[in-house]
Chains A and B, each alone.
Chain A
Amino acid sequence: MPYEDLKSRLAEAAYVASGDLAMALYLALTLGRPLLLEGPAGVGKTEVAKTLAAIQDTRLIRLQCYEGLDAGQAIYEWNYQRQLLALRAGGHGDGHASERAVFTEEYLLRRPLLEAITQPEPPVLLIDEVDRADEAFEAFLLEILAEHQVTVPELGTIRATARPHVILTANGTRELSDALRRRCLYTHIDYPDRETELAILARRAPDLAPALARQIVHVVQALRREDLEKTPGIAEMLDWAAALGGLGLNDLSEDPARVQATLVCLLKTAADRDAVPPEVMARLVGRAA
């Protein structure tokens, strides 16, 4: 599907993508290259992969990275308990026969990376927060992304039946290696501007009154310019909108105490709560009105 098509289908699936992001996704799909998304927390990096899987109508396979992630958890592991049981139960004859019996695909536990390359249809593989894993993990990730095959010593090489659409996300916990960056297409996603955020809110919460939606977006955009520890992302903005909608408010200035109470959706640290007392909030709401 051409590039404009992809953009409108993303929008139909309630994801408002910038031109650069739509282009990056389009090229990642057509050229078969992994796509690295960077940006602050809460701008919808993970959501991109979910939406892509939805519009492609394929599986989403997710690998959440953490420090110390190793091949046993990312690629494959033998199912030792079952192997041991099978051996103890006997019935396979001599050593060689039983070895052949327990080192088969039946006893192989597929972890996300192996699973992703052995699907009948190309899935979307989301490698989330790749900068949390250590450098050693990047090295074997590179091999799989480049060769699309996994070698299990007891079984031989498993080749990809379908090349997954790979999306990596990072938010700058540490600098990624140049080798990984070179193999990926790259897009930096930032907080959306006012119009884009309004469009997102309109897609995600269609029942909200337009006037309230404008106020919400205005206040959130103003809060992002304040000096906060955790800047509220799009997810927080949507939570807040849902909370205000659920409370049945039609205007932010109508009930300051309740609006202040709903700020738990936006401000996630004690210092940030203190930084936005009712007076500051009243000022922000006053400007939005």
Chain B
Amino acid sequence: MRPTRFPSRADGPGDRVAGFVAHLRLNGFRLGPGDTGDALAALAAVDAADPAEARAALKVTLVPDRDRWEGFDALYDAYWYNAGATRERTAQAPHIRTQTARPTLWRPHLDGPQTDGGDGDSDDTRQPDVPAEDDETEADGTDGRLIATRTQNLAKRDLRALTDEADRRAAEAAALRLARALRDRLSRRRRAATRGRALDMRRVLRASLATGGEPIRLFRRHRPDRPMQLHVLCDVSGSMTLHARVFLAFVKGLVGAADTTEAYLFHTRLMRVTPALRDHDTLRAAGRLSLMAQGFGGGTDIAGALAAFTAQSGRALGSRSLVLILSDGYCAGAPDALGTALAALARRAGRLVWLTPVPPAADGAVARHMAAVRPRVHGLYRAASVADLAALEPEFACL
């Protein structure tokens, strides 16, 4: 390969390495000025004129994890050898794709007429998954379709219409019981306490100095209860409309049960709705939720939503986190993408549970998606009604 010719204004190796670090940063590496210094120190320690040594030295210094370990060589060649990798190509790196995907979300709504003709790609994946009702509006032509979809969405968006008082209360009560069942887990670290199983020898000894080495006052340590942190992701796409009433009340109940619970809604994108659900004025909460859930009743991109969740909140997850996904698994993407997104999430979260309102089908798209889900979650349960949710209590107690 021909080495890249750098502009003559480039100011020595330091400048070029800084340029390389900037190039990596553009491709999703989180590197700071300190890392540039580290890279230069590493190059100074090896024979930097030897291409293999320089490459290996920069690789072990700048790569933080496995994904980037595998992509590093291509980026290295692109920068130092001009290996045909231009900005267009680097923009397709996976982490960037998730960000640029967001604006395309509204494309079907905002410029519907154009997308029908040209951009078939985004239309395929983001199509609403309620086929029956769309058929007649589709027949009216493209202009008519835009308006019809809007009115239909307005009707569905109003969550207040979906909340029946008795059902809502029952679902919230069930959520409260479930949340209580899994809330506390024994910590593995001990804390000073007035009553506990183990003696706090350090304190006992210090106190015994005052009594001439006689341990008279005993201090103890115990393992405190630490709450599980719950993250709920609720699917509000078109196929879930029937169950939305119960599930939303259920999510609200979970959020109300513990301060640390976080709630998210997703259809083609993910929204954090915890603040809206914490509003104790139920009507106002439903109103705020309606505003946030624009596009509610549209298509689903479960894999994309899960990937967005992992990218956003992944670092807050730990062994005490329980991620609860409420979805029917009706997804526009490929089962593989869903499996990959779930596996990435499972590596971070302590427990992963999936609740689905539909009975498992033998074949079809949903069955393929659920087959990708099953091996990667710790629990896959069916819950279509309030009674089903309440019956899950023993399972949750074991999690």
Known contacts being A80-B205, A87-B208, is A182 close to B45, with CB within 8 Å? no
Name, among B42, B46, B56, B215, the residue most crowded by chain A CB atoms within 10 Å (CB to CB): B56
List, in ascending order, chain A residues with CB within 8 A of B214's CB: 88
Can you list 7 A-B pairs, Cβ within 8 angstroms, ordered by A? Answer: A20-B56, A27-B45, A78-B202, A80-B204, A90-B213, A99-B209, A182-B35
Q: Are B56 and A174 in contact (CB under 8 A)?
A: no
Expressed in whole angstroms, the minimum distance between the Cβ of B223 and any Cβ of chain A is 9
10 closest Cβ contacts across the A-B interface?
A: A68-B188, A87-B213, A23-B56, A24-B60, A80-B201, A181-B64, A188-B69, A30-B45, A185-B60, A175-B348
Q: Are A172 and B347 in contact (CB under 8 A)?
A: yes
Q: Are A27 and B213 in contact (CB under 8 A)?
A: no
Q: Are A98 and B213 in contact (CB under 8 A)?
A: yes
B49 within 8 A of A: no
B interface residues, Cβ below 8 angstroms from A: 30, 35, 38, 41-42, 45-47, 52-53, 56-57, 59-61, 63-66, 69-70, 188-190, 201-202, 204-205, 208-210, 212-215, 314-315, 318-319, 347-348
Given contacts A19-B56, A24-B56, 10 further A-B contacts (CB under 8 A): A23-B59, A26-B46, A31-B38, A67-B188, A68-B189, A83-B205, A84-B215, A87-B213, A134-B319, A174-B348
Q: Are B188 and A27 in contact (CB under 8 A)?
A: no
List, in ascending order, chain A residues with CB within 8 A of B204's CB: 80
Expressed in whole angstroms, the minimum distance between the Cβ of B189 and any Cβ of chain A is 6
Q: Which residue of B lies closest to A78 (CB)?
A: B202
List, in ascending order, chain B residues with CB within 8 A of A172's CB: 66, 347
Q: Are B188 and A187 in contact (CB under 8 A)?
A: no
Q: Which residue of A lies closest to B31 (CB)?
A: A182
Q: Which residue of B lies closest to A33 (CB)?
A: B38
Q: How many residues of A contact B (CB 8 A)?
A: 41
Q: Which residue of B lies closest to A19 (CB)?
A: B56
A227 within 8 A of B: no
List, in ascending order, chain B residues with CB within 8 A of A102's CB: 205
Q: Are B318 and A27 in contact (CB under 8 A)?
A: no
List, in ascending order, chain A residues with CB within 8 A of B202's CB: 78, 80
Which residues of A (169-204) have their CB < 8 Å from a CB of B? 172, 174-175, 177-178, 181-182, 185-188
- Complex Cα gap A187–B314 (Å): 22
List, in ascending order, chain B residues with CB within 8 A of A90's CB: 212-213
When the two chains form the complex, which single residue of A2, A78, A136, A174 contacts B189, counting CB atoms closer than 8 Å? A136
A251 within 8 A of B: no
Expressed in whole angstroms, the minimum distance between the Cβ of B50 and any Cβ of chain A is 9
A248 within 8 A of B: no
List, in ascending order, chain A residues with CB within 8 A of B318's CB: 134-135, 174
Expressed in whole angstroms, the minimum distance between the Cβ of A89 and any Cβ of chain B is 8
- Complex Cα gap A67–B204 (Å): 27
> 1/0 per residue A102-145: CB within 8 Å of B?
10000000000000000000000000000000111000000000
Q: Are B188 and A182 in contact (CB under 8 A)?
A: no
List, in ascending order, chain B residues with CB within 8 A of A98's CB: 209, 213
A95 within 8 A of B: yes
Expressed in whole angstroms, the minimum distance between the Cβ of B66 and any Cβ of chain A is 5
> 1/0 per residue A29-51: CB within 8 Å of B?
01101010010000000000000
When the two chains form the complex, which single residue of B30, B35, B205, B215 contacts A178, counting CB atoms closer than 8 Å? B30
List, in ascending order, chain B residues with CB within 8 A of A177's CB: 315
Expressed in whole angstroms, the minimum distance between the Cβ of B219 and any Cβ of chain A is 12
List, in ascending order, chain B residues with CB within 8 A of A83's CB: 205
Expressed in whole angstroms, the minimum distance between the Cβ of B75 and any Cβ of chain A is 15
- Complex Cα gap A23–B60 (Å): 8
When the two chains form the complex, which single residue of B30, B65, B190, B347 contacts A174, counting CB atoms closer than 8 Å? B347
Expressed in whole angstroms, the minimum distance between the Cβ of A266 and any Cβ of chain B is 23
List, in ascending order, chain A residues with CB within 8 A of B63's CB: 186
Q: Are B56 and A67 in contact (CB under 8 A)?
A: no
Name, among A30, A38, A134, A175, the residue most crowded by chain B CB atoms within 10 Å (CB to CB): A175
- Complex Cα gap A178–B311 (Å): 13
- Complex Cα gap A68–B320 (Å): 12
Q: Which residue of A lies closest to B347 (CB)?
A: A175
Q: Are A84 and B30 in contact (CB under 8 A)?
A: no
List, in ascending order, chain B residues with CB within 8 A of A186's CB: 60, 63-65, 69
Name, among A27, A38, A70, A135, the residue most crowded by chain B CB atoms within 10 Å (CB to CB): A27
List, in ascending order, chain B residues with CB within 8 A of A84's CB: 205, 208, 213, 215
List, in ascending order, chain A residues with CB within 8 A of B47's CB: 2-3
Q: Are B319 and A67 in contact (CB under 8 A)?
A: yes
- Complex Cα gap A2–B57 (Å): 13
When the two chains form the complex, which single residue of A35, A87, A182 contacts B64, counting CB atoms closer than 8 Å? A182
Expressed in whole angstroms, the minimum distance between the Cβ of B23 and any Cβ of chain A is 19
Q: Are B46 and A38 in contact (CB under 8 A)?
A: no
- Complex Cα gap A95–B208 (Å): 9
Q: Are B57 and A23 in contact (CB under 8 A)?
A: yes
Known contacts being A23-B53, A83-B205, is A31 close to B45, with CB within 8 Å? yes
Known contacts being A178-B64, A181-B64, A188-B66, is A23 close to B188, with CB within 8 Å? no
- Complex Cα gap A172–B209 (Å): 47
Name, among B35, B65, B70, the residue most crowded by chain A CB atoms within 10 Å (CB to CB): B65
Known contacts being A175-B348, A178-B315, is A87 close to B61, with CB within 8 Å? no
Expressed in whole angstroms, the minimum distance between the Cβ of B231 and any Cβ of chain A is 15
Expressed in whole angstroms, the minimum distance between the Cβ of B386 and any Cβ of chain A is 35
- Complex Cα gap A125–B188 (Å): 25
